[in-house]
Structure 1
Amino acid sequence: MNFKELHNQKTPLLLGNVWDVPSAKTAEKLGFQAIGTSSSAIAALLGYQDGEQMGFSELIYFVKQIVTNTNLPLSVDLESGYSRDPIIIAEHIKELVALGVVGINIEDSIVKDERILLNGEKFASTLIDVINVLSKENIDVFINVRTDTFLLKHSDVIEETKKRIKLYENAGANGIFTPCIENESDIREIVNCTSLPINVMCMPNLPDFNTLSSLGVQRISMGNFLFDTMYSQLERITKDIIDQRSFQSIF
């Protein structure tokens, strides 16, 4: 089953989010069908904030190492493309596909002093140009378009999300990612507004996987939350070592 087909199963595709070779190998060992990079986690490893602060060359180094060390299909979080120029974005995607990447996430927000939504029509136009370049060169890659309306708490979040989904669907997106959506009725409405597979992300109040499946969700991501939890545990265990003056907390 190829990566696109994994979005049309009876149950949602649970994507293992990874940030390095050990996390990718763990996902493979645990039987995940596919993995996706977390840009936030990789940025944190390099001392950056999320939002294209790291360079594309730094991202691609991690991607190359992950691809080399796993047989799982890999989707890469490309943030908002590491450029506003569709030609450069397409070149970035081509570089990733040449390494063996089968999918990308691209988001309709950027970080300046703070994260802001890009104009939906302009972003859709960029997508059309990117997809045209890829189509002309027969580049086959799953384009999962992330809309940050829920993440940024847009004032008219449902209608704005539906409007953007239609724009991105018409532009040629293969899937839609709506991070930070949690409410069942919101999820149902978003799923029902498009024929594209909807991707949701780990959140404190996100329904369980069976409920998400019944709502029609077809992809579930973990985001950077496993990464953050891992380092919280590192801090807790290290503090125990200091407080107890012993290494027993490790074992």
Structure 2
Amino acid sequence: MNARFRDLHRAGRPLLLPNAWDFASGAVLADAGFPAVGTTSLGVSAAAGKPDAAGGTRAETVALARSLVRLPVPVTVDIEGGFSERPADVADLAAELAAFGVAGVNLEDGRADGTLAPLDHQVAVVRAVKDAAPEMFLNARTDTFWLAGDGGPDRAETLRRVRAYAGAGADCVFVPGIADDADVRAVLDAVDVPLNVLHLPGRTDYGTLARLGVHRVSCGSLLFREALRATVAAALAVTDGDAAAPPAPSYADVQRLVAGSPERPR
């Protein structure tokens, strides 16, 4: 599965990776013909009633991974920041996932407080994971664009981090939030490993990303959030077939729902 998954990352013909949040969503995606399935940390966390990116869903993530490896396609697992600040702990998790057949992991440097992990620390984590599970396809994510403040994304810091992660052994680099052609080209030129880009409705186009040479396009939490929208729409249609479909909740909306919605007006 690992070699098969690695071969799916082709410049000019990016792997479209849909992200599941439970076994049923993963199974229906595999049955629909997608050649690989990932997980979404927001979906896994929200389904467990927990906030995303807070490091509290290690058990749920491992349990889901154990079930998804039954699928006939490679599986890659979003492990957030590794559920620990200790490189050895993150390496142990990667080795555990590899032992029961997970092909890859997604490891991010963003933290719940909106900061980035120190670069030297994250490089140590990447190295530890590759030492513990050398066949694991490690997708090293940097949140330089995702967590950009009022000054906008820092391209120089992005390039510094992707080069460092690739140099530490990452098999792929992931920059969620990147959309501008020039930024995408800059990352592609900076490293010799595949580039993963997050699909952003209205901002990114699969065909354009393919022409630029991107190797993988992830759906992230989009499918999970669209499933929530469809759930509400189907329930409303029972009594009102003409009811307007609600918009899909945003990432922030889902985090708010998990934290506890304010009381509805009476």
Q: Same fold (TM over 0.5)?
A: yes
SS in 2 for 1:205: coil
Q: What is the aligned partner in structure 2 of residue 74 from structure 1?
A: 75
- Quote the residue 1:122 is aligned against: 121
Unaligned runs of 5+ residues in structure 1 are 245-251
Gaps of 5+ in 2: 242-266
State the partner residue of 1:100.
Answer: 101
Cα RMSD of the aligned pairs, angstroms, is: 1.8
Aligned residues with identical type, % of pairs: 32
Could you state the TM-score of these two structures normalised by the residue count of structure 1? 0.89
* Contact 1:24 1:66 (C-alpha < 8 Å) held by counterparts: yes
Moved more, 230-239 or 122-131: 122-131
C-alpha distance in 2, partners of 1:209/1:44?
Answer: 27
CA contact (8 A) 2:87 2:124 kept: no
Distance 2:221 2:233 in 1: 19
- Number of residue pairs matched? 238
Deviates more, 1:179-188 or 1:203-212: 203-212
Q: TM-score, length-normalised on structure 2?
A: 0.84
Q: Would you say the 8 A contact 1:43–1:53 is kept in 2?
A: no
Name the counterpart of 1:143. 138
- 1:117-171: CA deviations, max 9, x gaps? 111222112222332333xxxx411000000001001545211100101111111
Does the CA-based 8 Å contact 2:110-2:147 persist in structure 1? no
Residues of 2 paired with 1:3 and 1:204: CA distance?
Answer: 25
Partners of 2:69 and 2:54 in 1: CA distance: 21
Higher relative CO (CA 8 A, sep ≥ 6), structure 1 or 2? 2
State the Cα deviation string for residues 178-223 of structure 1 (Å, max 9, x = none).
1111112211222121111100012123332221111110000000
Q: Which residue of 1 aligns with 2:27?
A: 25
Question: Do the aligned partners of 2:55 and 2:81 also contact (CA within 8 Å) in 1?
Answer: no
Q: Distance in 1 between matches of 2:200 and 2:95?
A: 32
Counterpart contact for 1:181–1:206, Cα < 8 Å: no
- Residue 205 to residue 120, structure 1, CA distance change in 2 (3 Å): farther
Runs of 4+ in 1 over 6 A off after TM superposition: none
Query: Following superposition of structure 1 onto structure 2, how do residues 179-190 of structure 1 map, counting pairs within 5 Å?
Result: 179-190=176-187
Alignment match, 1:12: 14
Assess if the C-alpha contact under 8 Å between 1:182 and 1:205 holds in 2.
no
Using the TM superposition, give the Cα deviation of residue 15 of structure 1 relative to its aligned residue in structure 2, in angstroms. Answer: 0.9
Greater alpha carbon shift after TM alignment, 198-207 vs 218-227: 198-207
Give the counterpart letter for 1:168 in structure 2.
Y
CA distance in 1, matches of 2:219, 2:57: 23
Q: Distance in 2 between matches of 1:189 and 1:32?
A: 29
Report the equivalent of 2:163: 166
**Structure 1 residue 8: Cα displacement:** 2.8
